[in-house]
Amino acid sequence: MGEPLRTLETPDGRTLAFAVWGDPEGFPILTLHGTPGCRLGRWPREELYADLGVCLVTHDRAGYGRSDRNHGRRVVDEVADTRALADELGFDRFGVTGGSGGGPHVLACAALLPDRVERAICDVGVAPFGTPGLEQDAWLAGMDPENVKEFGWSLAGEEVLTRELQALQQQLEERARVDPSTILDDVDLSESDRAEMARPETMQIFRESTFEWAVNGVGGWVDDDLAFVQPWGFDVADISVPVLVRYGMTDVLVPPAHGEWLAANVPGCIVKISDAAGHLGAEPELEIAENARWLSAGIAPDGSRTPSPAAN
């Protein structure tokens, strides 16, 4: 068992909660959870990380779980928290990965911490909303009506968004208590994602995380949604470290158009597309191993090798 709850104080005086899994002496990988999410969003068979020779560090992004809220934050503000976490753990260089709503925050770290980030992975990540990203109609195209509704709340403002997410969180907790596989039943998921939701490991992740990410309210979720429909605070064109962009063609939560935009605009990125997978991937342990090899050694999913930027 790893260390499921540790804390540090950020330079601006907030508490940041984190967890450490796998081999403490292994290659450091910082994982930035999705929207909503928390530090418990790791693969439950934790020995996998030790077997892969990695030290996996997860944290509650600001406002989630046990981390203090950073009200009004932008996507770029995650960079300072990631730097503080790496400093706390003595990581000079590390890999950073994140999926869905974590993806933009990963790209921020890749853009602004080139002296610290070895490589990065943006997995089913959201594209920027509006110029220079996807305009609203294109950003929402192919997205399930439940997600479209949520981003409508975001555009309506913080008061509306907070009220609606509080009600949605209550509904999710009720489902998690009874059967975590039903949490996304309102969403017209692909066959692949339905299969992933039925996995015992996925059910465990949702059973543990659903209550924890909102233990102090839905502020983190609110701030994420508001940040996604505002300028991110950095330009993906400034990214100079190697990035792997992954996305699935049957994803209805973050549709393929987002991955296509990122693939076309993140400089020099390597792209991995799954024709069958949706938002949750298809073979979790294989994908975790592929990601670990990429982040630690620069070995892409197709077996090609990208040298470390430190070696250039």
Average pLDDT, the chain: 97
| Rounded mean pLDDT, 89-110 | 98
Predicted confidence at residue 1, as pLDDT, reads 61
Q: pLDDT, tens digit, for every residue of 48-59?
A: 999 999 999 999
Dihedral sign from CA coordinates of 115, 261, 278, 108: positive
CB 8 within 8 A of CB 88: yes
> Which one-letter DSSP state was computed for residue 65?
T
DSSP 100-114: TTHHHHHHHHHHH-T
CB 225 within 8 A of CB 57: no
The residue length of the chain stands at 312
Q: Which run of H or E residues covers position 168?
A: helix 158-178
Predicted confidence at residue 312, as pLDDT, reads 46
Q: Per-residue confidence at 306, pLDDT binned at 50, 70, 90?
A: confident
Domains, the chain, in order of start with CATH, read 3-311 (3.40.50.1820)
pTM exceeding 0.85: yes
Predicted confidence at residue 101, as pLDDT, reads 98
Q: How many CA atoms lie within 13 A of 103 on its CB side?
A: 25
Cis peptide before 132 (omega within 30 of 0): yes
Q: pLDDT, tens digit, for every residue of 267-301?
A: 999 999 999 999 999 999 999 999 999 999 999 99
| Rounded mean pLDDT, 38-44 | 97
